[in-house]
């Protein structure tokens, strides 16, 4: 068989792009080489519909062992009693949670997308907003979750489920307060921890499992695994809401969630990705990973201080986690212009709406900046000053092609100090 040089040449170009740039997309990270190696292996050839020990195909004895290792390691990471490692993504994990506990048209309450929430938390463009009755809470003028508004809406509307979690929120969550109002109105609390999961796993942020009925996450981002999703429960329980399976039987929450993943919303699991998840979960259980989490927070706070020093307006005036959201209106820039110009200098981040934005989601007034990937490459607090200096030079000279090109050269030279996958040549 002839090698597909066209595709493999492009893969090499992508490796070069990653090596030569400063990666600041908050939802991206660099896996270890062994995680990537596990993902590109023969379990990709195996169909394994169902769960370990209960498959619809033969020949699953080995992938059963792999999946059980992933489950056991994940349970240990979060001190959980049950876990499902089959969701293909965070969005599919969230879809399964909805399918397990909600009927079409029922109400739920989530953080507004324009205030930092996620697409799957009720955007009208997403299944969550189309299938269910989405209600939203927002943030205060200071950029902190408006818990008073959340509580008032919960009491007035009595939603079936309350979602806590975000894709562009830089502060920790008060899960205890959310659970208190949920108990008052009889709601399920669902935490989507896709962004801060690695920091929660290291004990560096509040633990949602203490107060939330169901927790989902991606496995990339701060968990530094392959692209995929998970759903976990600290304690399985007989559901007090009387939720039944498709045959009308009462089930425990873990049974409802298993059924919602397969056969409810997915067919065969990606066992090669699950193998890579298992490897990543093993890495998370090491002391090295906890040190990584501490460095992520230290880098994010050092970066926030460097932006503040240069007059950038940070939403909530700082960060507790791995990211920050910056309103560029006082710099007379849009998020779109900032993203596109920084791309030319090999500095990658994303435009993002800011709370109370007056621009469209395709333009935006802000940018979202995250440090997980550059922390993985070995950058530390003093380097954050350099990174912000380079960003500022580009943004303050956005129409000067020569200056942007000069920064691009400096970025590439700077990042040579932090090799990425040297084993790949």
pTM of the entire predicted model: 0.95
Tokens coding 2: 């002839």
Q: What's the chain's average pLDDT?
A: 96
Q: For 78-129, write each residue's pLDDT tens digit.
A: 999 999 999 999 999 999 999 999 999 999 999 999 999 999 999 999 999 9
* Active-site residue, from 227, 234, 368, 377: 227
Residues 32-58: b if buried by 16+ CB within 10 A, e if exposed: beebeebbeeebeebbbbbbbeebeee
Q: Does the active-site annotation cover 49?
A: yes
Q: For 277-307, write each residue's pLDDT tens digit.
A: 999 999 999 999 999 999 999 999 999 999 9
**Across 206-231, average pLDDT:** 97
Please write down the long-range contacts of 41-47, taking CB distance under 8 Å and 24 or more positions apart. Answer: 41/272, 41/275, 42/272, 43/271, 43/272, 43/274, 43/275, 44/270, 44/271, 44/272, 46/271, 47/268
Closest by CA position to 326, among listed 308, 341, 311, 313: 313
The alpha-carbon radius of gyration of the chain (Å, integer) is 22
CATH number of 34-284: 3.40.640.10
* Active-site residue, from 218, 222, 319, 376: 218
Task: Look at the block and give the residue holding tokens 């989405």.
Answer: 134
Q: Does the active-site annotation cover 47?
A: yes
Residue spans of the domains in the chain: they are 34-284, 287-417
The C-alpha atoms of residue 172 and residue 169 are separated, in whole angstroms, by 8
Whether 316 has a pLDDT exceeding 80, the answer reads: yes
Rounded (5°) CA angle 375-381-383: 80
Are the beta carbons of 167 and 194 closer than 8 angstroms?
Answer: yes
* Active-site residue, from 23, 112, 192, 258: 192
3-state class of 72 per DSSP? helix
DSSP state letters, 284-340: HTSHHHHHHHHHHHHHHHHHHHHHHHTT-EEGGGS-SSSEEEEE-GGGT--HHHHHH
Whether 3 has a pLDDT exceeding 80, the answer reads: yes
The C-alpha atoms of residue 423 and residue 425 are separated, in whole angstroms, by 5
Predicted local distance difference test score (pLDDT) of residue 291? 97
Q: Report residue 239's pLDDT band, with 50, 70 and 90 as the boundaries.
A: confident
Q: For 58-70, write each residue's pLDDT tens digit.
A: 999 999 999 999 9
Q: Does the active-site annotation cover 141?
A: no
Q: For 319-358, write each residue's pLDDT tens digit.
A: 999 999 999 999 999 999 999 999 999 999 999 999 999 9
Which residue(s) pair with 162 in the sheet? Answer: 109, 189
Q: Is the dihedral of CA 212, 255, 72, 63 positive or negative?
A: negative
Matching CATH number, 287-417, of 3.10.50.30, 3.20.20.140, 3.60.9.10, 3.90.1150.10: 3.90.1150.10
Q: Does the active-site annotation cover 221?
A: yes
Strand 229-233 with 82-84, pairing: antiparallel
Q: Report residue 241's pLDDT band, with 50, 70 and 90 as the boundaries.
A: confident
* Active-site residue, from 55, 221, 234, 408: 221
Tokens coding 418: 């932090």
Q: What percent of the chain has pLDDT over 90?
A: 95
Q: For 408-417, write each residue's pLDDT tens digit.
A: 999 999 999 9
């Amino acid at each position: 068989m002839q090698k597909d040089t066209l595709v493999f040449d492009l893969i090499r170009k992508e490796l070069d792009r990653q090596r030569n740039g400063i990666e600041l997309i908050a939802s991206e990270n660099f896996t270890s080489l062994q995680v990537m190696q596990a993902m590109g292996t023969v379990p990709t050839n195996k169909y394994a519909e169902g769960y370990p020990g209960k498959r619809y195909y033969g020949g699953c004895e080995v992938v059963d062992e792999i999946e059980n290792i992933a489950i056991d390691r994940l349970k240990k990471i979060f001190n959980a009693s049950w876990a499902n490692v089959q969701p293909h993504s965070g969005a599919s994990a969230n879809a399964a949670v909805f399918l397990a506990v909600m009927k079409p048209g029922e109400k739920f309450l989530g953080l507004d997308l324009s205030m930092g929430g996620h697409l799957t938390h009720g955007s009208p463009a997403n299944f969550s907003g189309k299938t269910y009755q989405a209600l939203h809470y927002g943030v205060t003028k200071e950029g902190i979750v408006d818990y008073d508004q959340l509580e008032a809406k919960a009491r007035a509307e009595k939603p079936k489920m309350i979602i806590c979690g975000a894709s562009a929120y830089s502060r920790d969550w008060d899960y205890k307060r959310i659970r208190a109002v949920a108990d008052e109105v009889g709601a399920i609390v669902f935490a989507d921890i896709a962004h801060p999961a690695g920091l929660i796993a290291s004990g560096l942020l509040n633990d949602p499992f203490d107060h939330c009925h169901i927790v989902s996450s991606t496995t990339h981002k701060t968990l530094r695994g392959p692209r995929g999703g998970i759903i976990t429960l600290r304690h399985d329980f007989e559901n007090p809401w009387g939720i039944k399976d498709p045959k009308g039987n009462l089930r425990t929450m873990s049974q409802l969630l298993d059924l919602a993943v397969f056969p409810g919303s997915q067919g065969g699991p990606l066992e090669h990705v699950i193998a890579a998840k298992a490897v990543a979960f093993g890495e998370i259980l090491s002391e090295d990973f906890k040190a990584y989490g501490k460095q992520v927070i230290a880098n994010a706070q050092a970066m926030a201080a460097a932006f503040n020093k240069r007059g950038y307006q940070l939403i909530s005036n700082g960060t507790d986690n791995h990211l920050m959201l910056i309103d560029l209106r006082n710099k007379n820039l849009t998020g779109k212009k900032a993203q596109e110009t920084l791309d030319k200098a090999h500095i990658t981040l994303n435009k993002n709406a800011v709370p109370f934005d007056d621009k469209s989601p395709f333009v935006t007034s802000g940018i979202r900046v995250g440090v997980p990937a550059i922390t993985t490459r070995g950058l530390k607090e003093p380097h954050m000053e350099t990174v912000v200096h380079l960003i500022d030079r580009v943004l303050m000279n956005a129409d000067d092609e020569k200056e942007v090109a000069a920064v691009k050269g400096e970025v590439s030279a700077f990042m040579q100090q932090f090799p990425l996958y040297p084993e790949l040549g």
